[in-house]
Every structure is written in structure tokens, then in C-alpha cells.
Amino acid sequence: MTTIPLSLPGAAPGAWPLLGHAWQLHSRPLEFLSSLPAHGDLVRIGMGPYPAYVVCHPEAAHRMLTDSRTFDKGGPFFDKARVLFGSSLPMSGWQEHRWQRREMQPAFQPDRLEAYAAVMGEEVDRMTAGWRPGLRLDLTAALTTLTLRIVTRSVLAAEAEDEAVADVQHSLHTVIDGIYQRVMLPLGPLYRLPTPGNRRYRSACKRLHSAIDGIIAERRASPGGKDLVSMLLAAHDDTGEPMSDKDIRDQLVVMSGAGFETTANSLAFAFWLLSQHPEAEKQVHAEVDRTLAGRTATPADLDGLPYTRRVIHEVLRMYPPGWFFTRVTTTDTTLAGHRLPAGTALLYSAYLLHHRPDLFPDPERFEPDRWLTRSGDSLLRGAYVPFGGGNRKCIGDQYALIEMTMALASVCARWSLRPDPGATLRVQVRGTLGPGRLPMNCRERGAAVEE
């Protein structure tokens, strides 16, 4: 019988006094996280003066993600994010999560996804309507507008031209950046000083709350819809109590944030990678020519787009938008062969797991066909977690996959996008992974299948 060691996991090298490993996480987070598996399956780091343990092995990640009672939402990331997002679905403890998920799940059922897909197609057409051969655009910005309009019109059922929606778009970027900085550089009282950055963050939070409150007020005046706002207005917790307007606002803020920037960034990465890999782009073009023949994709076309779907899965492997999250133990437990007391902060990173060469050979190589032989079901449990896992898996995972596949296929059916000569990709690490500004040039494609 194996004896579980009584000692806590070993520490990562390079800790700084007071800051711990916060500076490494802030200045070179992806490289730092990718270095940790060499030090064990569970590695101690310092988040400022507080210890946290990075889960480096997929089986341990799977155990953590599928036992939400023992490994509950919490830790440095969630403690900071809850200041803005409250106890919304991704932030809630396991008891609150159960009834919240039950009340919100109908908004993501297949019949609703089909209705959302119609909006997705309309908005892709709207985005590309003004494109012309030789047009130079910031693709990331264009895709951010696209995905915000889609989530606004579909999940929130609001008019995308509303001033409130513009406030949501402009505020969310500042808010997400502010939360990320406060997690990675826990400087405490310094964030209360009236610096320009702190003032921008507080102002963005107020604008964001005000904009979402306006959407709620409009929907309360016209009840009975099938959108998420209407469902939340009618929701009740396990005691029969309805949700407060603040609780509804928290849900909508986090759903808006999760529903547009992450998808836009993933699509931007996809178009960039295709522009750098002509053979992969050629396969996408051949597939969309056969399946779409120049028209906009619908959900009925998804079965005819297997290679396009593999491209999306590979993008999510290489650049998972939600690249790190934290948990906290609710009781004394064990993980990866080590004892952990109640209240232990844990951190897991999809980027770390997706870039382990023993799980994904040559992990920096863009290879969509690796998903031909290694489907999500055949991988080691916990190896591929772009949407998390267990009963806390992202409620909008199918929404996002449909949106990304339809948008990528529909654009590629008509256009080929090329970066400026000499342009390089610089991955920006914030609350999500993104490519930053991405100048691309539009080339119109013919309807003929490319050989």
C-alpha cells in the first residue's frame, strides 16, 4: 500500500521577498508556468506573501475539477474577481452554483443555440459587408465588435446599437485588465490610491454596472422573453427567493465578459495561424467550398466542417482564453500524492497542461490533424481543458464552439486574410490570452474549389 507523504509539495525556484513568484507570473507568466512540471505534479509558488499550489499533472487537474465540494471556487483570482462579479455562476461556491446552473441552463439548450446561430450568421454578414479587396483592418477589433454584437443580441436580447452596449464594450476591457493586474501583482493599498490607472478602473466598473442595470430595467418592463435576462428575472434559489437586481447584474456582467472577448481572441488567433500555414488554410478553403459554396454557415453545416472544427480545437489548445484559474480546498484532503489542509489555494492552467510535450508532442506546432487520432475522449483525463471540467465546465462551451466554427468557415468561404509584411504575433497575457492589435489585409476568394 502506497504511503502518502506528509510533507507539502516542493517550491518553485526564484521567489522574491514579499512578492513571491508574483513578478514572474506578471512579467512572463506562460514561460514560468510551463517550467513548473519539471518540479513536480504539484508545485508551491508565492502569490505575494500567500502560498498557492500549481496543479501540473492532468489526472490531478481532473480530480480537482470533478470534485467541486472538496476543491471549491476560491483563491487569489476569485477573491479579487468577486469584488466585481459577486457570486455569479463562474464565481459561486458549489452550493450556489447548483441552483444557478439549473436556472440558467435553458438559455443554452439546443433550441436556443439554433436561434443564437441565426444571429451569429447575420452578424458575420454584417461584419464582412463593408470589406473589399485590399482593405486593411485591425482584425482583433473587428472580431471583438462581432462577438459583442452576437452576445448582446442573442444571450442578452438587447439592441447592439444601444449606448449601454457601447459602454459594456468599452468598460469590460479596462475592468478585465484591472482585475488581472490586481491578481498578479497583489499590491493591496496601492490600488486604493487615486492614480490615473486606478481611476480608470473604478470609472469603468461604474459604467459597466450602469449599462447592465439599464438592460435589466428594460427587460423588467417587458417580461416573458426567452433570453437569459428574462430567465434570471424569473429565477428562484433553493429557498424560493428571487434573484436581486445586483445578483442578475453580476450574472450578466460575467456572461458578457466571458462571451465576447475570449471568442474574438480565439478567432483572431485562428485567422493568424491559417495565414502562417498555407497547407492548413488550403484544407479549410477546400472544405468550406464543398460545404458552403460561398454562403454563410448554419448549424446544419457543422457536420460538413470537420477540419475547420479541428482548427478551432487546436487554437484552443495552443491559446486557451482562460489560461489560469484558482480553487481552494474546503477540507483536509490529498492531491497528487500530497496532503493539503483545508483552505489551501490551488492554481491550474490550461496553457500549462496543453503545452506539456508528453501530452501533446511538439506542443508549439500548429497541427489541426493531431485531433484526428487524439480526440478529447481518448486523451488522458484533464489534459485538454479549454472550458474547464466537471459540473463547473463553462455553460457556454457549445455556444462558443458553434460561433467560432461558423464564423471561421463563413469568412474563409469568401475571404483570405493576410498580415502586413514582416508582422509577427505577440501574445498578450491578461485575464485572457489574446493577440493584441492584428493588422490584416483582405483578399477576396473565388467560389471554385482550390486544388
Q: How far apart are CA 188 and CA 275, in angstroms?
A: 43
Closest C-alpha to 344, from 322, 319, 362, 327:
327
Q: How many helices (H) and strands (E) does the chain have?
A: 16, 12
Q: Which residue has the cell 460561398?
A: 294
Distance of alpha carbon 301 from alpha carbon 293, whole angstroms? 11
Contact 331, 342 (CB under 8 A): yes
290, 304 Cβ separation under 8 angstroms: yes
CB contact at 8 A, 321 and 312:
no
CA distance 166 to 148: 9
- Look at residue 447 in the predicted model and tell me its pLDDT: 42
* Torsion sign across C-alpha atoms 402, 403, 404, 410: positive
Residue 103 and residue 236 in contact, taking contact as beta carbons nearer than 8 Å: yes
Whole-angstrom distance, CA of residue 62 vs CA of residue 385: 9
In the chain, domain spans: 22-444
Per-residue pLDDT of the chain (451 residues; tens, 9 = 90+): 444 445 668 888 988 888 888 889 888 999 999 999 999 999 999 887 788 999 999 999 999 999 999 999 877 667 767 766 777 887 788 888 888 888 888 889 999 999 999 999 999 999 999 999 999 999 999 999 899 889 888 877 777 666 666 777 678 778 877 877 776 666 778 888 889 888 998 898 888 888 888 888 888 887 777 788 888 888 888 888 888 888 888 888 888 777 788 999 999 999 999 999 999 999 999 999 999 999 999 999 999 999 999 999 999 999 999 898 889 999 999 999 999 999 999 999 999 999 999 999 999 999 999 999 765 556 789 999 999 999 889 999 999 999 999 999 999 999 999 999 888 999 999 878 999 999 999 999 974 434 3
| pTM, 2 dp | 0.90
- CA distance linking residue 112 with residue 399, whole number of Å: 10
Contact predicate 344/401, CB 8 Å: no
Q: Is 151 left (phi over 0), alpha (psi -120 to 50) or beta?
A: alpha
Identify whether the C-beta of residue 141 lies closer than 8 Å to the C-beta of residue 166: no
Handedness of CA 252, 254, 257, 262 (dihedral sign): negative
What is the assigned CATH class of domain 22-444?
mainly alpha
Q: Are 52 and 346 in contact (CB under 8 A)?
A: yes
Q: Find where cell 428571487 sits.
A: 242
- Give the H/E segment covering residue 42: strand 42-47
Decide if 360 contacts 370 (C-beta within 8 A). Answer: yes
Q: How many other C-beta atoms are found inside a 10 Å radius of the C-beta of residue 358?
A: 10
Q: What is the largest CA-CA distance in the chain?
A: 69
| Exposure of 143 in the CB half-sphere (CA atoms within 13 A) | 29
Q: Is 138 left (phi over 0), alpha (psi -120 to 50) or beta?
A: beta
Distances 70 to 19, 59, 288, 334 between C-alpha atoms, Å = 28, 16, 45, 10
DSSP string across 404-439: HHHHHHHHHTTEEEEEPTT-----EESSSEE----E
5: cell is 507523504
Determine the pLDDT at residue 448: 42
Residue-wise burial string across 409-438, b where 16 or more C-beta atoms lie within 10 A, e elsewhere: bbbbbbbbbebeeeeebeeebbbbbbbeeb
Cα 114 to chain center, whole Å? 21
What confidence score (pLDDT) does residue 197 get?
86
The grid coordinates of residue 225 equal 422573453
- Helix crossing, 397-412 with 245-276: angle to 10°? 40
On whether the CB atoms of residues 151 and 145 are closer than 8 A, the answer is no
Q: Name every residue whose Cβ is closer than 8 Å to that of residue 71 and which is 6 or more positions away in sequence.
A: 63, 64, 65, 327, 328, 329, 330, 333, 335, 346
Strand partners, 54: 43, 347
Owner of C-alpha cell 489555494: 345
Distance CA 178, CA 180 (A): 5
Q: Which of 94, 103, 66, 155 is nearest to 400 (CA)?
A: 155
Q: Could you give the CA distance from residue 363 to residue 350 in angstroms, rounded to a whole number?
A: 13
